[in-house]
Amino acid sequence: MPIVSAPPREIIERVKKLRAEIARHNYLYYVLDAPEIPDAEYDRLFRELQELEARYPKLITPDSPTQRVGAAPPKKFGAVRHEVPMLSLANAFAEQEVVDSDRRVRERLGLEQVEYSAEPKLDGLAVSLLYQRGQFTQGATRGDGETGEDVTQNLRTIKAIPLHLYGTGYPELLEVRGEVYLSKRAFAALNADAQARGEKVFANPRNAAAGSLRQLDPKITASRPLAFYAYGLGKIQGGAMPDNHSAILAQLRDWGLPVAREQKVVQGVQGCLDYYRDMGARRAQLPYDIDGVVYKVNRLDYQEQLGFISRAPRWALAHKFPAQEELTEVLDIEAQVGRTGALTPVARLKPVFVGGVTVSNATLHNQDEIERLDVRVGDAVIVRRAGDVIPEIVSVVRERRPPHTRPYHLPRHCPVCGADVVRAEGEVVARCSGGLYCPAQRTGAILHFASRRAMDIEGLGDKLVEQLVAQKLVQTPADLYTLTPGQLAALERMGEKSAANVHGAIQKSKKTTLARFLFALGIREVGEATAQTLANHFGGLDAVMQADEETLQNVPDVGPIVAAHIAAFFRQRHNREVIQRLRAAGVNWPGMKREPAAHLPLASKTFVLTGTLERMTRDEAKEKLQALGAKVSGSVSSKTSYVVAGADPGSKLDTARGLGVEVLDEAALLKLLRG
């Protein structure tokens, strides 16, 4: 029951304290990316405040963190005039345009070199936030730059936007400009949700952000995990701001407004181009989508001197990345057979330049995906190539579907060996049942065996292995070790020199490690990490081969499914024979004393490596850590013991900080490795 009489002093104090605590944790979480308390603890504080406010409604204030979703939906958004117009950004696509722009800036300013603030260009929606005496009072979309829509109630639901500025010293009136966006993760979750409910999915995070912000009902916006980064200022009154852009951003961050942590001050055009390349390389690892970077002349007096031209400041330039999505045509669809027999449908495309390379194939993953997209031979499609990711088809452009398209279904017989294709109940993957009799699976298995992280046989590429398998020179990995230089030299595109090199590489690969060998065998579900754990746990190959499923499940991280795959692999007579022949050919690894993993100094510790190390490669660091019994994983979780961060670390470092995982630099790692 709500109490109408004046609340007791302790309650008033407690409510005040809770709001201050919640504001501080919001700041730690959204701005510094370094939460001090787990989510559950935050939720407890929040609920306590909600309960007190429910009991004493008099205590509710509009800037209470509980009041993000308040007002009822309006009929339509009101208009907001931007007193200081929201300008647009000039674009550059080629380096030369950046060089030219910098030259013009230097000529106008009469300078040899200009200092720039470089920032990621988020692919979101520009908005303006008005703070009066520290209170968030109005928020608007950019609109045409002169007039936008009043989306205050929706912006209030974005937790990264403070309802009240943090700290002190802010001007009486402060207009902050920035970008509302969706993280890649939030976008994927939103679309997965929409799909599960049979609703329309968004084509990209930008559309999803715009659609979410322009909902009349703030409850809907509140349910979308939108985020915000500040990138500039509008009108300021009753207070002063720093005299350069990077200091302004730092000041905004101190007041609780999130700023992209990738923002950086750089010197001259070379600094800009280095930043562009660096961000391009890190793009795939960033937690949000960017479509380029933005350079801004750092000093405000220079900005003023430069002014603007046709609605765009002369002091700012967006340098765009090559588009990651392009329109093209599906010429054909074919099934590819991998080393586990999995049939992957691949679309043959009319070649198109996307993500910086010419793409003529895109994976369609599996039959379900083909049906989800309803992609047919002849369709117009959007292909996407992001970073080093395999190109894929995002969607079919239905409006452009020609009259005679052909639906595709994976074949019932393996296109390579003719064996039945089977799809186990509940599985999405269809597989060739031909096993190692299927040349495609054999080729795949041998390529995997020879790959860098397995037996590391240099020069044994796919064209070569295909020939070896087709000519029946190699049927199993063991046959590699009986090949003569003469046999290799007789193959197409092989000279004597390269034949000798490949032969040498095969001989060299005989000396290996048990972990690499186990990984090389290509047992289903046994990746590098599991292979290493098995090697540590059992110490020798015979022990692994003899272990039954129950024994295998005693190995850390080996569950019933993996155990079943391992046991099934070694039960096969064919596999045991191949292993026997490999050993007879001289494949060996230094005898590991059977040292239970628990005795190793780093047993039970999990490491994640990120960024560039100076004294060793990441692979070397990984091997050294594993030799000491540590597990090295690719992703950070609450179970991670340490994250080792080299130069230019990726988002893993942020995740580690967010989870409170201890972070080591290279020096600390070296110390640890030295024991």
Cα 53 to Cα 566: distance, rounded to the nearest angstrom: 58
Q: Which is nearer to ligand D41, 89 or 382 (CB)?
A: 89
Smallest gap from residue 310 Cβ to ligand D41 (A):
13
Sequence-separated (6 or more) residues with CB below 8 Å from residue 140: 80, 82, 127, 128, 148, 149, 150, 151, 152
Structure token pair of residue 648:
């230019």
511 labelled catalytic: no
Give every strand in the sheet of 316-320, ordered side by side: 91-92, 316-320, 290-297, 115-122, 264-267
Cβ-contact 499, 488 below 8 angstroms? yes
Task: Give the Cβ contact number of residue 650 at 10 Å.
Answer: 16
Residue 71 sits at φ, ψ, to 5 deg, of -60, 155
Smallest gap from residue 89 Cβ to ligand D41 (A):
5
- Percent of the chain as helix, strand, coil, to the nearest 5: 40, 20, 40
Q: Which is nearer to ligand D41, 122 or 609 (CB)?
A: 122
Structure token pair of residue 372:
């989800």
Distances (CA, A) of 57 to 5, 16, 47, 50: 10, 14, 15, 10
Smallest gap from residue 229 Cβ to ligand D41 (A):
7
Q: Which is nearer to ligand D41, 19 or 121 (CB)?
A: 121
Q: Which is nearer to ligand D41, 187 or 231 (CB)?
A: 231
Cβ-contact 483, 508 below 8 angstroms? no
Smallest gap from residue 177 Cβ to ligand D41 (A):
6
Smallest gap from residue 284 Cβ to ligand D41 (A):
18
Cα 447 to Cα 455: distance, rounded to the nearest angstrom: 10
Smallest gap from residue 263 Cβ to ligand D41 (A):
8
Cβ-contact 349, 319 below 8 angstroms? no
Smallest gap from residue 87 Cβ to ligand D41 (A):
4
Task: Give the Cβ contact number of residue 577 at 10 Å.
Answer: 12
Instruction: Quote the radius of gyration of the chain (alpha carbons, Å).
Output: 30
Smallest gap from residue 387 Cβ to ligand D41 (A):
19
Q: Which of 58, 75, 121, 320 is catalytic?
A: 121
Q: Which is nearer to ligand D41, 179 or 326 (CB)?
A: 179
Smallest gap from residue 454 Cβ to ligand D41 (A):
42
Sequence-separated (6 or more) residues with CB below 8 Å from residue 108: 305, 306, 314
Q: Which is nearer to ligand D41, 84 or 357 (CB)?
A: 84
> Which of 286, 291, 141 shows the shortest CA–CA distance to 221?
141
Cβ-contact 543, 555 below 8 angstroms? no
Cβ-contact 56, 3 below 8 angstroms? yes
Smallest gap from residue 265 Cβ to ligand D41 (A):
14
Tell me the one-letter amino acid at 322.
Answer: P
Helices (H), ranges, 110-225 = 152-156, 184-196, 205-213, 218-222
Q: Which is nearer to ligand D41, 300 or 386 (CB)?
A: 300
SS (H, E, C) 63-130: CCHHHCCCCCCCCCCCEEECCCCCCCCCEECCHHHHHHHHHHHHHHHCCCCCEEEEEEEECCEEEEEE
> Which of 209, 218, 159 shows the shortest CA–CA distance to 181?
209
Question: SS3 for 135?
Answer: strand
Interface with ligand D41 (CB under 6 A) = 87-89, 119, 121-122, 126, 142, 179, 231-232, 294, 296, 313, 316
Cβ-contact 42, 94 below 8 angstroms? no
CB hemisphere CA count around 371 (13 angstroms): 6
Smallest gap from residue 383 Cβ to ligand D41 (A):
24
Q: Which is nearer to ligand D41, 125 or 632 (CB)?
A: 125
Structure token pair of residue 84:
């200081």
Q: Which is nearer to ligand D41, 249 or 269 (CB)?
A: 249
Q: Which is nearer to ligand D41, 115 or 528 (CB)?
A: 115
Cβ-contact 18, 49 below 8 angstroms? yes
| 491-526 burial code (b ≥16 CB/10 A, e <16) | beebeeeebebbbebbeebeebbbbbbbbbbbbeeb
Q: Which is nearer to ligand D41, 292 or 522 (CB)?
A: 292
Cα 53 to Cα 46: distance, rounded to the nearest angstrom: 11
> What residues are annotated to the active site?
121
